[in-house]
Amino acid sequence: MLDYLSGLFTPTILLYLLRGFAITLRVAVIAILLSIVFGAILGLIRSYAPKPLRMLAGAYIEWFRNTPNLLWVMVCFIAAPLPSDWARCTMAYVLFTSAMMAEIIRGGLNAIPKGQFEAAHSQGFTMVGALWYIILPQCFRRIVPTMLSQIITVVKDTSFMAQVAVAELLFRTKNLMSIFYNVVGRQITAPDVFLLFGFAMLLYFAVNFTLSCIVRYLQKRNHAGAQAR
């Protein structure tokens, strides 16, 4: 069995798949960071900005929340004015995920008692100061578990890039089937397919299970903190 696995997962194949996984992680990390920033801006606009801006932010959020992420991957891959395939796909994830993050953040902002603003203003804080130092820290503590669940979704949804031939993990795993003979020197078999896709599954699982553990830990800590108060 070990001889079979070592013959299948050669250094060439492992390096080929791990390079695809690196693209997966790169797109996920950049999309997540930018989505949190833009989502926070959209959430603040929808919660506190004048009505015309709230309506524009709401229209953006509803448009992207109610259309498929895969659709935007395809649209951005074709039309986005960016220099690389993975960057165009990253733009699609940012557009879609920032709308989801905006609603998560808006929900956290709505959960903050209105008296927090009054207390902040009584201490001399401006609106911006109250948001930055008092409201947003409380908001993010409340929404971290929900936000991390959305982050897990982003990591899984990077597999959509395989549909537009971006050489991420899933695409490389599928492509390996067609070049298997040239790489290994024999015809591919059903166990080979199962093990190669299983390896890709384990990589996704390792990342998402780690994030899931973080979510559960934060949920327990928040629950314990709520009981202590």
- Burial code (b: 16+ CB inside 10 Å, e: under 16) for 65-81 equals eeeebbebbeebbeebe
Handedness of CA 186, 188, 192, 196 (dihedral sign): positive
Instruction: State the pLDDT at residue 179.
Output: 86
Per-residue pLDDT reduced to its tens digit, 68-92: 999 999 999 999 999 899 999 999 9
Which residue ranges in the chain fall short of pLDDT 50?
Answer: none
- Per the document, the length of the chain is 229
CA distance 155 to 168: 12
The residues near 3 (Cβ < 8 Å, ≥ 6 apart) are none
Angle (CA) 60-64-67 rounded to 5° is 145
The domain total for the chain is 1
CA distance 95 to 82: 14
Q: Which helix (H) or strand (E) holds 111?
A: none
Per-residue pLDDT reduced to its tens digit, 202-220: 999 999 999 888 878 877 7
CA distance 187 to 94: 40
Instruction: State the pLDDT at residue 113.
Output: 81
CA distance 36 to 53: 19
> What are 42-46's contacts with CB under 8 Å, separation 24+?
42/98, 42/99, 42/101, 42/102, 42/105, 43/101, 43/102, 43/103, 43/104, 43/105, 43/106, 43/108, 43/109, 44/105, 44/109, 44/131, 46/102, 46/106
Parent domain of 65: 2-228
Other CB atoms within 10 Å distance of the CB of residue 204 = 18
CATH of the domain at 154: 1.10.3720.10
CA distance 220 to 214: 10
Please tell me the pTM assigned to this model: 0.88
